[in-house]
């Protein structure tokens, strides 16, 4: 959080969907944009700190399971003994449970700290953490109810990323079950326990001086329901009713897997998204994660309700989920965001690139998102959509270089090989579609530099945090995988 007015000068900045020149950016003491002045005169520029490259607003990571960073790169060998040699989402899930059962609060903090630093370096300035590790590790005595949640809060605060914590309701093993499975014991929660966590996080977000939540606050909360298979309708509606009352975002996994869709039909007579449309009173606060196997009629319903879809292209590809109907949904004007989910990628450029390339391979066409959005630039169509969807996922005024929004922005290294010789108006295109993506020199959250010259420094120090975070992460991995 900043404590004084700051003025910056960007030679080029992305404002309202296009590049603007000679932009003076003023950050208020609360960490929000006070004024944004394109085409500033030499007199207006005087005294402003010149930024070292093109400037973009920060991106929201709308779906994250931080603990799964401890699995990245460790699930890529075929599991022996699976039926007919098939390895899929459900076999991957069993391996994920092995980490979920064992990880301690200290290990989670170490893993999340490194992850959140990587997300900052990848251009994300806010993360929505879908948190369902509520209980103590296997074999450990019960801990404080908020212990795991507070580990995530500390990790985010240490590196300086914005955090929307989403305490997640998880009550049963699947459709027709009346309890959780043995491997899921840590996920146990009730509407009351989830809402108590939400209230605890909300208290932490209050400024002790003003006794109010600042517009530039880095910590917020929403609620999540793991999935229809993991809760009953009564519990879902109880949590959703509270969220509606206090205006919190609501997140839920939906229609990620074909088996999930088939099981939902068998037990409810409806498909997952279809059930939500009929029974959940969805509105603009709702975010359906994946929705990979939603029908066109269901997507029309989501659009009509004003809800959003959160897409996680790298995870959906890694797990063999399937392909979301991006052009059909964009043609409807549907809102969507992106997330890193299982952390096999920690850059939003990778998510957008893979999202578009998957559609191109499937449809045998080029510039699919641009065509669906009626724009010239595919990168611009994808970026603007993901920015708007990310704002909805958090319920905060972020994701735009615009007065009143939190001052989150990234400064590109114009000397990165991917940008050398690129005409200025094509910088965003090259950033998304020329791999590896350009390096980010600096990243600011609420007007505060948390990445400087590519190195994470966090909020409290100018010294790089990387060596400390790497050592703690390596120690946690050694304990988890010994």
Strand partners, 25: 8, 36
Task: Render pLDDT for 3-62 as a digit per residue (tens, 0 to 9).
Answer: 689 999 999 999 999 999 999 999 999 999 999 999 999 999 999 999 999 999 999 999
How far from the centroid of its chain's Cα atoms is residue 202's Cα?
A: 19
426, with CB counted inside 10 A (0-12, 13-18, 19+), is: middle
> In the Cβ-directed half-sphere of 196, how many Cα atoms lie within 13 Å?
10
Cα–Cα distance, 252 to 236 (Å, whole number): 10
| pLDDT exceeds 90 at position 429 | yes
Q: What per-residue confidence (pLDDT) applies to 78?
A: 82
Please give the structure tokens belonging to residue 263. Answer: 């099981």
Domains and CATH numbers, the chain: 6-57+406-469 (2.30.40.10), 59-394 (3.20.20.140)
DSSP bridge pairs for 221 = 165
- Compute the average pLDDT of residues 102-115: 98
Q: Are strands 223-225 and 448-452 parallel, antiparallel or unpaired?
A: unpaired
| Model confidence at 82: pLDDT above 80 | no
In tens, the pLDDT along 174-197 reads: 999 999 999 999 999 999 999 999
Helix (H, G, I), strand (E, B) or coil at 368: helix
What pLDDT, on the 0 to 100 scale, is given for residue 143? 84
Cα(469)–Cα(465) distance, integer angstroms: 6
State the pLDDT confidence band at 367, using cuts at 50, 70 and 90.
Answer: very high
324 pLDDT band, cuts 50/70/90, is very high
pLDDT above 80 (res 85): no
**pLDDT of 259-294, one tens digit each?**
999 999 999 999 999 999 999 999 999 999 999 999
Does the pLDDT of residue 462 top 90, yes or no? no
Query: Residues 335-341: what's their mean pLDDT?
Result: 98
Q: In sequence order, which ranges of 296-439 are alpha helices (DSSP H)? A: 296-305, 313-318, 326-331, 348-363, 368-373, 378-394, 427-433
Instruction: Inform me whether the pLDDT recorded for 2 exceeds 70.
Output: no
Contact call for residues 439 and 416 (beta carbons, < 8 A): yes
Q: Which of 123, 228, 118, 120 is nearest to 170 (CA)?
A: 228
State the catalytic residues.
290, 341
């Amino acid at each position: 959080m900043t404590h004084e007015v700051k003025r910056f000068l960007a030679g080029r900045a992305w404002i309202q969907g296009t590049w603007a020149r000679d932009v003076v950016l003023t950050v208020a003491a609360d960490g929000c944009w006070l004024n944004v002045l394109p085409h500033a005169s030499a007199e207006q520029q005087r005294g402003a700190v010149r930024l070292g490259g093109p400037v973009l607003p920060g991106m929201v990571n709308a779906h994250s399971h931080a603990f799964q960073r401890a699995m990245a790169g460790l699930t890529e060998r075929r599991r022996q003994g699976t039926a007919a040699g098939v390895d899929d989402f459900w076999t991957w899930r069993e391996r994920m449970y092995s980490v979920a059962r064992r990880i301690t609060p200290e290990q989670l903090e170490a893993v999340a700290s490194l992850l959140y630093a990587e997300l900052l370096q990848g251009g994300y300035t806010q993360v929505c953490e879908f948190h369902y590790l509520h209980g103590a590790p296997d074999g450990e005595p019960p801990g404080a109810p908020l212990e795991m949640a507070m580990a995530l809060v500390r990790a985010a605060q240490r590196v300086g990323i914005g955090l929307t914590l989403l305490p997640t309701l998880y009550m049963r093993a699947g459709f027709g079950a009346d309890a959780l499975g043995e491997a899921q014991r840590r996920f146990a929660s009730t509407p009351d326990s989830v809402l108590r966590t939400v209230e605890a996080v909300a208290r932490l977000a209050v400024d002790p001086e003003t006794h109010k939540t600042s517009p530039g606050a880095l910590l917020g909360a929403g609620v999540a329901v793991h999935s229809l298979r993991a809760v009953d309708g009564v519990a879902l509606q109880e949590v959703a009713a509270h969220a509606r009352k206090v205006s919190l975002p609501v997140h839920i996994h939906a229609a990620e897997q074909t088996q999930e869709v088939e099981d939902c039909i068998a037990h409810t007579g409806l498909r997952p998204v279809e059930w939500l449309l009929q029974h959940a009173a969805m509105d603009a606060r709702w975010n359906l994660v994946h929705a990979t196997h939603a029908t066109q009629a269901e997507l029309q319903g989501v659009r009509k309700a004003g809800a959003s879809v959160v897409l996680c292209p790298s995870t959906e590809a890694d797990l063999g989920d399937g392909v979301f109907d991006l052009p059909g949904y964009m043609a409807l004007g549907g809102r969507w965001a992106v997330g890193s989910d299982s952390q096999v990628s920690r850059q939003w450029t990778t998510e957008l690139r893979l999202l578009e390339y998957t559609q191109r391979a499937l449809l045998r066409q080029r510039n699919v998102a641009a065509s669906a959005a009626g724009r010239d630039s595919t990168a611009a169509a994808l970026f603007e959509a993901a920015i708007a969807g990310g704002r909805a996922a958090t319920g905060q005024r972020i994701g735009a270089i615009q007065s009143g929004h939190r001052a989150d922005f990234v400064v590109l290294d114009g000397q990165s090989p991917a940008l050398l010789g690129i005409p200025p108006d094509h910088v965003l295109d090259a950033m998304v579609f020329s791999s590896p993506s350009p390096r980010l020199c600096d990243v600011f959250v609420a007007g505060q530099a948390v990445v400087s010259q590519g190195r994470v420094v966090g909020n409290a120090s100018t010294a790089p945090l990387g060596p400390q975070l790497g050592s703690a992460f390596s120690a946690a991995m050694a304990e988890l995988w010994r």
